[in-house]
Amino acid sequence: MSSTLPRAAIIGAGSSGITAAKGLREKGIDVTVFEASDRLGGNWVFGNVNGMSAAYRGLHINTSRERMEFTDYPMPKSYPDFPHHTHIAEYFEDYVDHFKLRPLIRFNTKVEHAAHEDGGGWTLTLGDGTTERFDALLVANGHHWNARWPEPAFPGADTFAGVQMHAHDYKSEDALRDKDVVVLGMGNSAMDIAVESSYVARSTYLAARRGAWIMPKYLFGKPMDQALKNDPRIPFVIRSRVTERVVIAQAGRPETYGLPKPDHHFGQAHPTVSGRILDRIGHGTVVPKPNIERLEGDRVVFADGSSVHADVVVYCTGYKITFPFFDDTFLAAPDNHIELFLRVFHPDHADLAFIGLLQPLGAIMPLAEAQGEWVADYLSGRYALPPRAQMLAAIRRDMAAMRKRYVASKRHTIQVDFEDYLGALERERRDGGRRAAATGFPLPVPRRAEAVGA
Ligand SMILES: Cc1cc2nc3c(=O)[nH]c(=O)nc-3n(C[C@H](O)[C@H](O)[C@H](O)COP(=O)(O)OP(=O)(O)OC[C@H]3O[C@@H](n4cnc5c(N)ncnc54)[C@H](O)[C@@H]3O)c2cc1C
Ligand SMILES: NC(=O)c1ccc[n+]([C@@H]2O[C@H](COP(=O)([O-])OP(=O)(O)OC[C@H]3O[C@@H](n4cnc5c(N)ncnc54)[C@H](OP(=O)(O)O)[C@@H]3O)[C@@H](O)[C@H]2O)c1
């Protein structure tokens, strides 16, 4: 490892942290990955001892294998198009071993606190109370582990006679067997859980405050994310309208199944993907309902005045972006709002970057891989950020575009389009490479921290 390059710490050895570690190590940067769990893979480790995984026993990915795999390490061809979570966890383990990244990871080591030092650099306080210093910090702690319950809680929630759970705590359909179940939400958790419920529960109701366009897993005999060409040169509005027409031609409109009519076009909400929900509704085993209005004893009352008996309500109402290791006064993401240059760099802190903090139309992993390579270019002096004012202007444009395009919701604060985002990163890396060359490739983050201890 180069002794002049900054020492970097990464928080988290999920798919984002491991690929960033690879990117940094390849540029000669001395990197340590802190992982709270006893294993890597984060969300994809069913029953992860860190208590942060949202995986359920029956979980399969909804972005296809070829969309999700890292660019230099394909998933085995023996894997199905939409592998089970056990395949995905195994794939990340294999990736780490293939690229010999395991020695970089400190397992069972939670970062309790990350303090930004005056003048730059970081002091990390670890689970055992010890501290370590680093020059740069990469945050890859995931954003699907802190459950967002309905806000505010529904009237009567505090006296409801049945069980209320969040999708994050749903582990298998065993919790729903022979029960009357209400599932709330129109995202992917709600689709999967309602479908699983429909096979074992006495009744399953799917309640929603807003309609969604439901993408099938396959179109024209191919995984849908490979069947539709997504050329960034074609304006997104045209691409998304074509997709909408294809979805309507293939499955009809959601309201013909009794689901709420979407109040937006395809592409204006995070995609909901399910190959089975419409079938289960068609079989009468999932019954659509409008939003929950209140809970009353052992009944759920919906916005249209109808009510049903319920033993279990599963809130599939999304997640909060959270950084428990930062002081709130330093950095937080209220209502999931966080302003970063191309979703990675903080305009006020040259030694801080975020990996995987985005919601793509497509899979997170190849984007996190590209982000890691970008940060590695930066820390090794091959790339120079634009001036702060330019970053702030880009962030403002980005936020305005997101607000204009997406329905207002706390789930739409970090959205990107897969190919468009990769293209933007590539262009920015090239531009910043020229800036770095023009000034003699200076290191933006000096090496100060010693290899061991404070
Ligand atoms: C049910 C479900 C299904 C999904 N399906 C898909 C899909 O099909 N395709 C897709 O692209 N995305 C999917 N996602 C999105 C998911 O976020 C990504 O698949 C992926 O898990 C992101 O990886 P990550 O490394 O950013 O975060 P995570 O997988 O959450 O990993 C974060 C890691 O950081 C560690 N960590 C956190 N805090 C600390 C700390 N303070 N100190 C030390 N370690 C810490 C955790 O222990 C964990 O190992 C899904 C999400 C959910 C909830
Ligand atoms: N098989 C898979 O691969 C799979 C499975 C599950 C999850 N995931 C992924 O995991 C991430 C999280 O998905 P998610 O479905 O858990 O969450 P999500 O995408 O954030 O969806 C939350 C849903 O709950 C609704 N909602 C939120 N608050 C509500 C309230 N107070 N009252 C009524 N409805 C409310 C939202 O409606 P609005 O739109 O109106 O805000 C939305 O329909 C996504 O990236 C998803 O793709 C993938």
pLDDT for residue 2: 58
Q: In the block, which residue shows the tokens 């919790």?
A: 175
Q: In the block, which residue shows the tokens 């709330």?
A: 184
What confidence category does residue 107 fall into, taking pLDDT thresholds of 50, 70 and 90? very high
Type and span of the H or E element at 17: helix 15-26
pLDDT tens digits, one per residue of 372-405: 999 999 999 999 999 999 999 999 999 999 999 9
* pLDDT value at 450 more than 90: no
Nearest atom in ligand 2 to 291's CA? 33
In this structure, which residue's CA is closest to atom 27 in ligand 1?
142
Asked if residue 333 has its Cβ within 6 Å of ligand 2, the reply is no
- For ligand 1, the distance from its centroid to the CA atom of residue 15, given in whole angstroms, is 7
pLDDT for residue 311: 98
- For ligand 1, the distance from its centroid to the CA atom of residue 37, given in whole angstroms, is 12
Provide the phi-psi class of 193: left if phi over 0, else alpha when psi is between -120 and 50, else beta.
alpha
- For ligand 1, the distance from its centroid to the CA atom of residue 63, given in whole angstroms, is 14
Nearest atom in ligand 1 to 16's CA? 25
pLDDT for residue 454: 38
Asked if residue 185 has its Cβ within 6 Å of ligand 1, the reply is no
The alpha carbon dihedral of 308, 310, 314, 315 has a sign of positive
In this structure, which residue's CA is closest to atom 4 in ligand 2?
188
- For ligand 1, the distance from its centroid to the CA atom of residue 321, given in whole angstroms, is 12
What would the two tokens of residue 236 be? Answer: 């997104």
pTM score, whole prediction: 0.97
Give dist(CA 3, CA 28) in Å, integer: 9
Q: What are phi and psi of 299, to 5 degrees?
A: -125, 150
pLDDT for residue 361: 86
Give dist(CA 38, CA 292) in Å, integer: 39
DSSP-assigned letter for residue 319: E
pLDDT tens digits, one per residue of 158-172: 999 999 999 999 999
Give dist(CA 329, CA 326) in Å, integer: 8
Q: Based on C-alpha coordinates, what's the Rg of the chain?
A: 23
Identify whether the C-beta of residue 98 lies closer than 8 Å to the C-beta of residue 22. no
pLDDT for residue 400: 95
Give dist(CA 361, CA 363) in Å, integer: 7
pLDDT tens digits, one per residue of 73-94: 999 999 999 999 999 999 999 9
Give dist(CA 103, CA 96) in Å, integer: 9
Tally of CA atoms within 13 A in the half-sphere of 155 that contains its CB: 6
pLDDT tens digits, one per residue of 306-339: 999 999 999 999 999 999 999 999 999 999 999 9
pLDDT tens digits, one per residue of 408-439: 999 999 999 999 999 999 999 999 999 999 99
DSSP-assigned letter for residue 254: G
pLDDT for residue 451: 58
Q: What is the mean pLDDT of residues 91-113?
A: 98
The C-alpha angle with vertex 171 and arms to 318 and 88, in degrees rounded to 5, equals 85
Identify whether the C-beta of residue 203 lies closer than 8 Å to the C-beta of residue 182. no
Long-range contacts of 297-302 (CB under 8 A, 24+ apart): 297/156, 297/159, 297/160, 297/161, 298/160, 298/161, 298/162, 300/182, 300/205, 300/207, 302/207
pLDDT for residue 1: 61
Type and span of the H or E element at 292: strand 292-296
pLDDT for residue 360: 93
Average pLDDT over the chain, rounded to an integer: 96
- For ligand 1, the distance from its centroid to the CA atom of residue 43, given in whole angstroms, is 4
pLDDT for residue 129: 98
Ligand in closest contact with the CA of 190? 2
Ligand in closest contact with the CA of 212? 2
pLDDT tens digits, one per residue of 214-251: 999 999 999 999 888 788 899 889 999 999 999 999 99
Q: In the block, which residue shows the tokens 């590209």?
A: 370
- For ligand 2, the distance from its centroid to the CA atom of residue 198, given in whole angstroms, is 19
Asked if residue 204 has its Cβ within 6 Å of ligand 2, the reply is no
Nearest atom in ligand 1 to 55's CA? 1
Long-range contacts of 227-233 (CB under 8 A, 24+ apart): 230/362, 230/417, 230/418, 230/419, 231/419, 232/417, 232/419, 232/420, 232/423
Residue 198 Cα distances to 54, 184, 195, 203, 315, angstroms: 20, 14, 5, 7, 16
Identify whether the C-beta of residue 71 lies closer than 8 Å to the C-beta of residue 59. no
Lowest mean pLDDT among 6-15, 234-243, 345-354, 434-443: 234-243
pLDDT tens digits, one per residue of 236-291: 899 999 999 999 999 999 999 999 999 999 999 999 999 999 999 999 999 999 99
pLDDT for residue 453: 43
pLDDT for residue 444: 96
Torsion of CA 71, 73, 74, 79, to 10 degrees: -140
Nearest atom in ligand 2 to 407's CA? 39
What confidence category does residue 3 fall into, taking pLDDT thresholds of 50, 70 and 90? confident
pLDDT tens digits, one per residue of 24-78: 999 999 999 999 999 999 999 999 999 999 999 999 999 999 999 999 999 999 9
Asked if residue 364 has its Cβ within 6 Å of ligand 2, the reply is no
SS3 state at 307? strand
Residue type, 35: E
Asked if residue 16 has its Cβ within 6 Å of ligand 1, the reply is yes
Asked if residue 300 has its Cβ within 6 Å of ligand 1, the reply is no
In this structure, which residue's CA is closest to atom 44 in ligand 2?
188
Residue 95 Cα distances to 61, 174, 252, 343, 371, angstroms: 18, 33, 40, 24, 17
Asked if residue 448 has its Cβ within 6 Å of ligand 2, the reply is no
Give dist(CA 323, CA 172) in Å, integer: 28
SS (H, E, C) 295-338: EECCEEEECCCCEEECCEEEECCCEECCCCCCCCCCCCCHHHCC
